[in-house]
């Protein structure tokens, strides 16, 4: 109890305050509902909150609804159900996107807070099912494990690798969505995907933190993505789709990530005799 009062409680109070001071973008996200620059997107699923910048044309809004539907279906199929409750913020213009996403890089970004709220920000290139599904996947992991567990337990290569499994810019539906076609279509799939220089991959042990993963030039980050996607594809092919919620449940119940990750694969291989 003393420990709780002396350390945990102040930490619980300090963390949200520190987060708000450090990131003006986060403050804007929490206040997006009060901003005159945004309106609520009509015609989305009940319970889903999507804010769209006023600069978005009717056509962009229509497209966004369709892409979101595709992304959401993919997430439900991949995870078994969708529990994420993130607020989506769509900014078709880069200047607005940078106001909400720290750094303003990439097509989308996700912000999870220690107090459980989460925001997915989609930029000019984010009106796209792959991008939206990618961010929604980060949010599923976040909602199932919470901010602290994701920070403490989940290596960045797994968090990104998992999101890349529903992001077909970097992976193939054949890994889990249509596994029957995996064998004969491998060569087509390779051709469809983003071209990567075939450098030697980075060691997973060097991609544990966000800093290790994203701290580097464009080439490093792309290679980090590819390394993460390759590893999680390999694992997913062995454990199957059910392995994803199984792993998350194990970590939520207190298992160490690495143990649970390896155990699931071992068990599956033993059962199938591979
Ligand atoms: Zn990501």
How confident is the model over 76-117, as pLDDT tens digits?
999 999 999 999 999 999 999 999 998 888 899 999 999 999
C-alpha distance from residue 108 to each of 14, 105, 124, 187, 198 (Å): 28, 8, 9, 29, 26
Distance (Å) from CA 36 to ligand 1 centroid: 29
The Cβ-side half-sphere exposure at 28, using a 13 Å CA radius, reads: 21
Rounded mean pLDDT of 219-246? 94
Rounded mean pLDDT of 60-68? 97
Distance (Å) from CA 21 to ligand 1 centroid: 24
Distance (Å) from CA 10 to ligand 1 centroid: 30
Cβ atoms < 10 Å from Cβ of 237: 16
Q: What pLDDT, on the 0 to 100 scale, is given for residue 67?
A: 97
Distance (Å) from CA 260 to ligand 1 centroid: 22
Q: What pLDDT, on the 0 to 100 scale, is given for residue 35?
A: 95
Distance (Å) from CA 135 to ligand 1 centroid: 6
Distance (Å) from CA 163 to ligand 1 centroid: 6
pTM for this entry: 0.86
Taking the chain, what is the end-to-end CA distance rounded to the nearest angstrom? 50
Mean pLDDT over all residues of the chain? 88
Confidence at 178, pLDDT banded by 50, 70, 90: confident
């Amino acid at each position: 109890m003393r420990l709780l009062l002396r350390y945990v409680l102040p930490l619980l109070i300090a963390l949200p305050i520190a987060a708000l001071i450090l990131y003006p973008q986060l403050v804007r996200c929490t206040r997006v509902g009060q901003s005159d620059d945004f309106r609520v997107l009509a015609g989305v699923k009940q319970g889903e909150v999507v804010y769209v910048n006023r600069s978005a044309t009717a056509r962009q809004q229509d497209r966004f609804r369709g892409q979101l539907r595709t992304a959401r279906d993919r997430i439900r199929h991949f995870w078994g159900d969708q529990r994420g409750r993130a607020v989506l913020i769509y900014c078709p213009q880069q200047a607005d996107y940078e106001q909400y996403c720290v750094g303003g890089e990439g097509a989308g970004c996700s912000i999870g807070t220690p107090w459980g709220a989460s925001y997915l920000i989609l930029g000019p290139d984010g009106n796209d099912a792959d991008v939206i599904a990618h961010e929604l996947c980060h949010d599923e992991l976040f909602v199932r494990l919470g901010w602290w567990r994701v920070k403490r337990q989940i290596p960045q290569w797994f968090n990104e690798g998992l999101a890349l499994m529903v992001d077909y810019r970097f992976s193939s539906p054949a890994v889990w969505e249509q596994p029957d076609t995996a064998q004969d279509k491998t060569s087509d799939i390779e051709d469809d995907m983003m071209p990567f220089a075939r450098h030697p991959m980075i060691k997973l042990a060097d991609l544990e933190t966000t800093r290790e993963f994203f701290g580097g030039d464009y080439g490093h980050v792309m290679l980090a993505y590819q390394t993460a996607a390759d590893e999680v594809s390999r694992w997913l092919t062995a454990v199957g789709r059910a392995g994803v919620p199984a792993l998350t449940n194990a970590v939520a119940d207190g298992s160490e990530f690495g143990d649970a990750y390896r155990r699931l694969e071992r068990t599956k291989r033993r059962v199938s005799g591979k």
